[in-house]
Amino acid sequence: MSSPGTPVTPDWLALREPADAAARSTELADRLYAWLPIRPGSLLVVRDLGCGTGSMGRWLADRLPRPQHWLLHDRDPALLDRAMASLPAGVSAEPREGDLTGLDAAQLAGTAVVTASALLDLLTADEVERLAAACAAAGCAALLTLSVTGSVLIRPTDPLDSAFAAAFDAHQRRTVDGRRLLGPDAAPAAAAAFGRHGVAVVRAPSPWRLGPDNGALLEQWLRGWVAAACEHRPGLAQEAEAYMRRRLEAAAHGDLRVVVGHADLLALPETCS
């Protein structure tokens, strides 16, 4: 999940990687493996959009046929360098620095799988539509994981939970530089887009389940969640300090549990290019 109140740094990505790995749907990865044609000696080309430090490659590479070649897309050259250095042994890769929203079918030619993690909610409806159209035209599969759904379940409950949740969701749907982000609408919007292009879609829940064993991540997620909510609805700021104090006290006592809703999506054309 993208956390607007938390900078996307290598430290943040490392902190969330175990939770991401535990949440992603292995069932969809297995379906993808079964769909891929096995041609002995053929190179499987995987294109990872918004790769960050390469966590998707570390999670998915061993679940797909070898040999593999990954094309890693990200705007941050420092993150790309980390991703290039951290893929499993025997997997080759190339960096692709720059904007990833304009990919078309010609650029995807030869790609078997397009994948992404925590990306769809940062795109617009038009960008998702273009991605679906390009994948469909190129005949490549798409495994798009960890899109926020807007569901956040916190135990024990607090009277202000719903206010912060609603403000956070609205923040996720904000307009940035003329781009209206999909936020929690991303997974259903992507499923509909692929469907319009005749591509079968399977979805699966992929929630984060955070508790005492995820103390550092839980605190950082909570701070980012509250900060984003207050950015969208400044009136909540006067309640935020006391709310955070109650929540962090519960976490310190090992009582706080949070389930952050995400969805994974697998789009499978009839054939693989």
Q: What is the mean pLDDT of residues 255-261?
A: 98
What does the mean pLDDT of the chain come to?
94
Looking at residue 272, its pLDDT comes to 44
Residue spans per domain, the chain = 10-268
Q: 3-class DSSP state for residue 145?
A: strand
pTM here is: 0.94
Q: What is the pLDDT of residues 167-188, one digit of tens each?
A: 999 999 999 999 999 999 999 9
Looking at residue 37, its pLDDT comes to 83
Looking at residue 39, its pLDDT comes to 73
Q: What is the mean pLDDT of residues 216-239?
A: 97
Looking at residue 173, its pLDDT comes to 96
CATH class assigned to 10-268: alpha beta
Percent share of the chain, pLDDT over 90: 91
Percent share of the chain, pLDDT over 70: 96
Q: What is the pLDDT of residues 82-115, one digit of tens each?
A: 999 999 998 999 999 998 888 999 999 999 999 9
Looking at residue 1, its pLDDT comes to 38
Q: Residue 195 pLDDT more than 70?
A: yes
CA distance 261 to 209: 9
Q: 3-class DSSP state for residue 179?
A: strand
Q: Residue 8 pLDDT more than 90?
A: no
